[in-house]
């Protein structure tokens, strides 16, 4: 055992024995260094290890503390959307929201943006600059229609962590997960078809369904275990369903991961009814605990699961690099992707491949998992403290999104309007439903909770909510 | 007038007076420098100017020559495709072809690849590497859904050269022209609709039509003036046509630019029948003569022309940067693009914007226009010399593609098979038709004719054609 590991073990031991409790301040670096007669940097390394292990947190300009493990918040109930296939219509609101990308000063709790200031992304920048020079002729050229061979290899390797065995030749690289989803949908449905979705559900897939002239059938979804398999089975009996589109792991917006048992039962149902599953795994690699949950794809023996993902949440969205493992629909999806955009930016593909190959992706994920779990706990803490009674909050197992149920009768669209005047935006719940449900819900992104602006934004949001409630209580 | 301009004028004068004829060797640099008592570099600059003006060519290790202006070749006749809306079905063959992207040793006359070895692209590489560093946070992030503001500005500026006045806010950036075409088509048609196309026609649009469940109605097309307006009018009378998709300037594969008069008459027809035009202008900036031809969009006062283009042919395809000027269909196309892939690679967008803003795009185009005209003349010369009698060749006014009609009964698919065994590929004509026409046609790319491999490939192709013809003449 190395010196710093010894120091870390001692500290951890004391925490385990209750000598230091959650939230307690730990000995100073200088103090520990004298106690153990080791160098300052050894103690710092020891604390670094404990931080990585999620036991200790560093508070800037204050010192090290035992990390607070919060009790989970009160969860929203299982959703009960309208049980009928619907043509989706929410484009105007969505447009409003996306017009915010890249714009100015607003604190955009509305957008699902990963932490891009982290030092673990620095190597990506260096790699991108280097490739511009060393591979200049190649990056000017179209890549193979199915993707750069190096990248397909790395993607296939990554999917091993979710239990898959996918050959690199099977992978199709896309311009983000949105293109993966959109092409998969187009390949397995025709206008007029019905597709089953979880509810609430990522607005990008809900709207992609709409634009393909397909109808969405929303299935009640539990905030801890995912879609109700009973409701799904009933729907399969009742409707001529053509495909199923789900985000079963670190769901957007709810944050749950379906238990393996449910994943298996779901697959079983789909096998029985012979229906393809489009499995959106974009947040899968951001699970707080290792090993990460298995994909449904990893259980699939019939090639019916189309696994879609991208590096938009786990690295950075501006690269626009996603992928599909298309199972038995490979040829059709390949054709749709080719005719949608021929191929994907060559430099982006090579940069991601190199970032993974050199081991930076894993390092980056290790750090992000801890950070996002810390962010979840911090923001949930503030919400519990400040939001009006009756507020319920999801308790994600990965990723960085929170789904917040406001007291009944509150309108999240109105909340958003008022928040904007104070320089804050949220994603109103109605965006996440084909039937315009979830009026009193919002989704917020809790990345970078150590930035005081985020804490302030949450406080302000809570104030607005309280004000809105009080105004409603007043006689007209 | 500068010194080198004076020297250039003298030489040009002598050529104009017939003192030097086409193909003649011109005085050596040393000779001219002594004659005019100027420096070697001044003479080199003078020759550079004459090369830019398309009057002189430099032959490596030999010297400067008066450029040969060839007589145009014998052109293919106006096409006469099946006059009936058709469901397109050629994916297998196309797949075969696209599997060649980026692959090994073959001389790929089949693919429409610009010259990417030119020194005028060096600044792009430098800019891309620099942006990776200076804009590192921004390139990690999603860009505005309609595109980076800088790039929209540059695109709007560029379109002035084709007679347009488009506000930067109108532009939507896409992942290549294919995405622009595909989203435009999806926005203005529904499955079952009929769309009018030129014939032969770029296979990417023909197939995109198919994948949208739309039918293609091919209109006879003249290799010098484009689609027959008479035939188009008849079709508009006869069928419930929903949109028109054309490449009216430096057409792929035929190379013609429709005369302004025809463009105006076409627009007039579309106005009368109230039909949107998707105008593919991807080769527009590669016209051999300046000013470049006007787009139909530039005549449009009703917002019915959807102008689609990209930098894949005029800069490099691996960037995947294209754009649409969507006219009155903006909102719908914006939505389709967003749900197809959210946004386009940020680094690619910024790199192209910077490349244009710093004046490198114009310099690059100036050089490419000359080079591609030289390539056209060289390759047409070899074809005229070596191909069997009865061969007809298009005479493009821009771009770098040739459409070659082989003697009747020859099968270009068979030619392609035989050519591949000798390490050469061509694009068989049937790819360019919804009805499987153009069996005895091929499209070849004539970039880099100064590379001896290209000349050799053309010679080999001609040999194979002659062999195939002879074998057919033999009794069984
Ligand atoms: C669940 C889910 N799927 C897909 C996407 C689209 O991701 P990309 O940016 O890779 O296209 C997102 C983006 O927010 C998402 O949250
Ligand atoms: C006429 C035409 N339109 C569109 C495209 C697609 O271009 P991009 O690579 O920009 O998607 C091509 C590419 O070959 C083309 O020739």
Cis ω before B303 (30° cut-off from 0)? no
Architecture label for domain B3-66: Orthogonal Bundle (1.10)
pLDDT at A72: 73
Q: In which element (H, E) is residue B32 found?
A: helix B29-36
Domain with CATH 3.90.1150.10 in chain A: 91-117+362-470
Domain with CATH 3.40.640.10 in chain B: 119-360
Architecture label for domain A119-360: 3-Layer(aba) Sandwich (3.40)
Name every residue whose Cβ is closer than 8 Å to that of residue A71 and which is 6 or more positions away in sequence.
Answer: none
> Which one, of B174, B155, B138, lies nearest residue B339 by Cα?
B174
Helix (H, G, I), strand (E, B) or coil at A166: coil
Cα A164 to Cα A162: distance, rounded to the nearest angstrom:
6
Residuewise pLDDT in 10s, chain A (476 residues): 889 999 999 898 888 777 788 788 899 999 999 988 999 999 999 998 888 777 888 888 889 998 876 677 788 888 877 667 665 556 777 777 777 665 567 889 999 999 999 999 999 999 999 999 999 999 999 998 899 999 999 999 999 999 999 999 999 999 999 999 999 999 999 999 999 999 999 999 989 998 898 999 999 999 999 999 999 999 999 999 999 999 999 999 999 999 999 999 999 999 999 999 999 999 999 999 889 999 999 999 999 999 999 999 999 999 999 999 999 999 999 999 999 999 999 999 999 999 999 999 999 999 999 999 999 999 999 999 999 999 999 999 999 999 999 999 899 999 999 999 999 999 999 999 888 889 999 999 999 999 999 999 999 999 999 999 988 765 55
The answer to whether the CB of B101 falls within 8 A of the CB of A143 is: yes
Q: Is B252 in the pocket of ligand 2 (CB under 6 A)?
A: yes
Name every residue whose Cβ is closer than 8 Å to that of residue B362 and which is 6 or more positions away in sequence.
Answer: none
Q: Which residue of B has its CA nearest to A176?
A: B341
**Can you name the CATH fold of A91-117+362-470?**
3.90.1150
Chain A residues with CB-CB distance to B211 below 8 A: 186, 335-336, 339
Q: Does A138 touch chain B (CB under 8 A)?
A: yes
Helix (H, G, I), strand (E, B) or coil at B47: helix
Q: Would you call B182 and A99 a contact, using CB atoms and an 8 Å cutoff?
A: no
Q: Which residue of B has its CA nearest to A149?
A: B102
Q: Would you call B341 and A125 a contact, using CB atoms and an 8 Å cutoff?
A: no
Strand partners, A108: A425
Supply the ipTM of this predicted assembly.
0.85
How many CB atoms are located within 10 Å of the residue A232 CB? 25
Name residues 211-240 of chain A within 8 A of B (Cβ).
211, 213
Instruction: List residues near ligand 1 (CB under 6 A).
Output: A 112, 176-178, 181, 202, 204, 247, 252, 280, 282, 310, 312, 317, 322; B 342
The closest ligand to the CA of A283 turns out to be 1
Q: Which residue of A has its CA nearest to B321?
A: A345
Tell me the Cα Rg of chain A. Answer: 23
Cα B276 to Cα A431: distance, rounded to the nearest angstrom:
31
Helix (H, G, I), strand (E, B) or coil at B349: helix
User: Long-range contacts: A43-50, Cβ < 8 Å, 24+?
Assistant: A43/A4, A43/A7, A45/A4, A46/A4, A46/A5, A46/A7, A46/A8, A46/A11, A47/A8, A47/A11, A49/A4, A49/A5, A49/A8, A50/A8, A50/A11, A50/A12
Q: Would you call A336 and B211 a contact, using CB atoms and an 8 Å cutoff?
A: yes
Q: Is B204 in the pocket of ligand 2 (CB under 6 A)?
A: yes
Chain B residues with CB-CB distance to A360 below 8 A: none
Chain B residues with CB-CB distance to A121 below 8 A: 140
Cα B396 to Cα A183: distance, rounded to the nearest angstrom:
35
Between chain A and chain B, the number of residue pairs with CB atoms below 8 A apart is 203
Q: Which residues of chain B have pLDDT under 70?
A: 69-70, 82-83, 85-90, 100-104, 473-476
Domain with CATH 1.10.10.10 in chain A: 3-66
Q: Would you call A345 and B340 a contact, using CB atoms and an 8 Å cutoff?
A: no
Cα A443 to Cα A76: distance, rounded to the nearest angstrom:
12
Cα A143 to Cα A341: distance, rounded to the nearest angstrom:
12
How many CB atoms are located within 10 Å of the residue A8 CB? 25
Residues making up chain A, counted from first to last:
476
């Amino acid at each position: 055992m190395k010196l710093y590991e010894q120091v870390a073990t001692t500290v951890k031991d004391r925490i385990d024995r209750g000598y230091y409790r959650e939230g307690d301040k730990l000995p100073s670096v200088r103090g520990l260094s004298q106690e153990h007669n080791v160098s300052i940097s050894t103690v710092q390394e020891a604390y670094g290890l404990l931080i990585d292990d999620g036991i200790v947190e560093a508070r800037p300009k204050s010192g090290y503390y035992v990390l607070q493990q919060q009790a989970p918040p009160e969860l929203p109930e299982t959703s009960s959307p309208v049980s009928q296939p619907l043509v989706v219509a929410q484009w105007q609101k969505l447009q409003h929201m996306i017009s915010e990308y890249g714009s100015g000063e607003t604190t955009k709790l509305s957008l699902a943006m990963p932490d891009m200031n982290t030092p673990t992304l620095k190597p990506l920048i260096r790699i991108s600059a280097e490739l511009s020079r060393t591979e200049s002729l190649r990056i000017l050229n179209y890549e193979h229609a199915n993707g750069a061979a190096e990248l397909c290899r790395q993607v296939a390797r990554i999917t091993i962590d979710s239990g898959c065995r996918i050959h690199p030749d099977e992978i199709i690289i896309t311009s983000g997960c949105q293109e993966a989803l959109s092409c998969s949908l187009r390949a397995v449905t025709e206008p007029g078809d019905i597709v089953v979705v979880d509810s609430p559900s990522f607005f990008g897939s809900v709207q992609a369904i709409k634009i393909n002239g397909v109808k969405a059938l929303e299935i009640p979804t539990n905030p801890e275990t995912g879609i109700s398999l009973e409701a799904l089975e009933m729907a399969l009996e009742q409707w001529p369903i053509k495909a199923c589109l789900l985000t079963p792991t670190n769901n957007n917006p709810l944050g749950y991961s379906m238990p393996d048992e449910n994943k298996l039962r779901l697959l079983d149902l789909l096998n029985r009814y012979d229906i393809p599953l489009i499995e959106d795994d974009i947040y899968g690699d951001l699970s707080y605990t290792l090993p990460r949950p298995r994909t449904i794809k990893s259980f699939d023996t019939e090639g019916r699961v189309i696994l879609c993902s991208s590096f938009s949440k786990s690295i950075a969205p501006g690269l626009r690099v996603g992928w599909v493992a298309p199972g038995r629909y490979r040829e059709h999806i390949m054709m749709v992707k080719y005719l949608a955009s021929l191929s994907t930016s060559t430099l982006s593909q090579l940069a991601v491949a190199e970032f993974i190959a050199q081991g930076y992706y894993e390092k980056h994920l290790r750090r992000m998992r801890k950070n996002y779990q810390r962010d979840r706990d911090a923001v949930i803490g503030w919400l519990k403290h400040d939001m009006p009674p009756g507020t319920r909050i999801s308790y994600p197992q990965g990723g960085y999104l929170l789904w917040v149920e406001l007291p009944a009768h509150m309108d999240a669209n109105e909340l958003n309007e008022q928040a904007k005047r104070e320089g804050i935006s949220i994603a109103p719940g109605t965006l996440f439903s084909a039937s315009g449900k979830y009026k009193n819900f919002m989704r917020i992104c809790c990345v970078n909770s150590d930035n005081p602006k985020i804490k302030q934004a949450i406080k302000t949001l809570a104030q607005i909510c309280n004000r809105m409630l009080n105004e409603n209580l007043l006689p007209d």
